[in-house]
Chain A
């Protein structure tokens, strides 16, 4: 007997496996970057820091997008109570996305970036060489094509089936994501204008449209694992995303303080981004509240842990670590320091990595024909959660310490007394070693998580045989 309500949900499996593979690649490059902070010439000139960093961040974006798509393919048929419009299109788009992504990463690693740019039409329409948007033009066009095909597929599925709050919010988030990505093709020759529109992609993704996706996925996971009434969950979901967009849209202003835009953004950005933790705090309350009111004990306790972990760590990373440097008088000193790196890591992990892993952890057993993974595999997953989370915590505290010392030495003293950038970096080595330790901890947690997929089948079969 199938554990899936709809056959076409199966396409999600490909996306989840692809996402986890790229996740591992992202972390391996992350460890290399951490080492290069301490031993500057490691792998130079074969993989210079800027190339490794581009691979690290681009893999993150691609695997999270893959995770969002897989989640949508799994969730939408169930919410709409109908088969996916075209499972074949979903499979084809997966392979196109994976191959385009792999070719892009190989291009970064094997071809000098300037040569890659010249060979891929960057002289016709220059879009490359801006942080996170480094992809060659054909890759950017490919992302748009894959996104349109994906949105067509799930939108038609929702249109022909039941329309729930979760699927509508998810659709709005995904359409918004695709729409904002179009600004990656906007690259005015005035750097100030370029930077402003660049944030339309970067900020309005992670502190805008992606929060809709996050909210919808959390709501779905909580309905499934707690059995709480939809009406209650829907109300929470709409309130959370209202606060997310009401604070997050004008919160964009916290990126406009010192890049050449008018001074009034310091007021707008400070006020609205100071409120940005609210929706994340509501997500934490939401998760605990629903679990308290649960109507069933779901056998997949690992998925429940990842879900609650996401609600808590998202608040700490995006909410708290965002707040510590978001007010403009504070940001004047912290802007572009290791504090920014600390916040970036914890926010992406807490909010987006964990929600995708929670979805995978919930859906994968069902895709493999059982309601939950065997107990031994679930125990490994829970160990993995704690090891990854503590590893990330060590990294983030180390980077925060590095940031505070950097600001103290390099930013606060006046001209003449302030220490130069590279001399300051030499003073931060203790924290960078600590960061490496945290990063290796994170990697081992991830390896435990990945191996949990291969554990416990035998025990289960033995039990079944004994029962028979």
Chain B
């Protein structure tokens, strides 16, 4: 590096560049915020969906599954499971766990009551409707 370019100059570029991109990011996030209600169909977030999300979180589902592609990669994607399997399968599946099949991956039994099973299914139904730019590529997730 040439001797004309000092560390003070480099520091000023850092402060200026960072400030510019922080502000630009803030503006974009602000714009995105306005678009979220329409893209996520926020009007369809019923109390059951909110309760379902709480169940999703407090059973640490993300520790095995992905949801819209994020999470652990040990068990199937659930963002589109409502399309792939439908509501009755989802509830029956959760009630039947664990399968106990030797050597196979096991899902814990969470002892959810009917209301809770309905709630988590409502949450997955709502998630299924989020505009994800056509991801995943097919229904297998």
Which A residues contact B (CB, under 8 angstroms)? 36-37, 39-41, 44-45, 48-51, 53-54, 113-114, 117-118, 122, 126, 128-131, 134, 165, 189-193, 195-196, 231-232, 234-236, 238-239, 241-242, 245-246, 249-250, 252, 256-263, 265-266, 268, 332-333, 335-338, 340-341, 410-415, 418-422, 424-425
Of A40, A189, A419, which one neighbours B105 at CB under 8 angstroms? A40
Q: Mark B45-82, 1 if CB is under 8 A from A, else 0.
A: 10001100110111111111011111111111100000
Additional pairs, 19, CB under 8 Å, beyond known A41-B105, A259-B70:
A40-B103, A41-B104, A49-B74, A50-B62, A122-B58, A131-B70, A191-B67, A193-B33, A236-B1, A239-B14, A246-B21, A257-B133, A260-B130, A260-B131, A261-B36, A261-B39, A266-B133, A410-B140, A420-B76
CB <8 Å contact, B138 and A418: yes
Q: List 20 A-B contacts (CB under 8 A).
A: A39-B103, A44-B108, A48-B64, A48-B106, A131-B62, A191-B68, A191-B127, A196-B36, A234-B10, A238-B7, A238-B10, A242-B10, A250-B25, A258-B133, A262-B32, A268-B28, A337-B73, A420-B140, A421-B140, A424-B140
Instruction: Specify which chain A residues have a CB less than 8 angstroms from the CB of B37 in the assembled complex.
Output: 190
Of the listed residues A36, A37, A260, A265, the one surrounded by the most CB atoms of chain B closer than 10 A to its CB is A260
CB <8 Å contact, B58 and A195: no
CB <8 Å contact, A44 and B98: yes
Instruction: Specify which chain B residues have a CB less than 8 angstroms from the CB of A411 in the assembled complex.
Output: 136-138, 140
A49–B25 Cα distance when bound, in Å, is 36
CB <8 Å contact, B36 and A193: yes
How many B residues touch A, CB cutoff 8 Å? 72
If A258-B68, A412-B137 touch, whether A341 touches B73 (CB-CB below 8 Å) is yes
CB <8 Å contact, B103 and A41: yes
CB <8 Å contact, A114 and B59: yes
Majority SS at the chain A contact face: helix
Instruction: Specify which chain A residues have a CB less than 8 angstroms from the CB of B57 in the assembled complex.
Output: 117, 126, 128-130
Q: In the complex, what's the smallest C-beta–C-beta distance from A441 to chain B, in angstroms?
A: 22
Instruction: Specify which chain A residues have a CB less than 8 angstroms from the CB of B25 in the assembled complex.
Output: 249-250, 252
CB <8 Å contact, B42 and A190: yes
Residue of B nearest to A420 (CB): B140
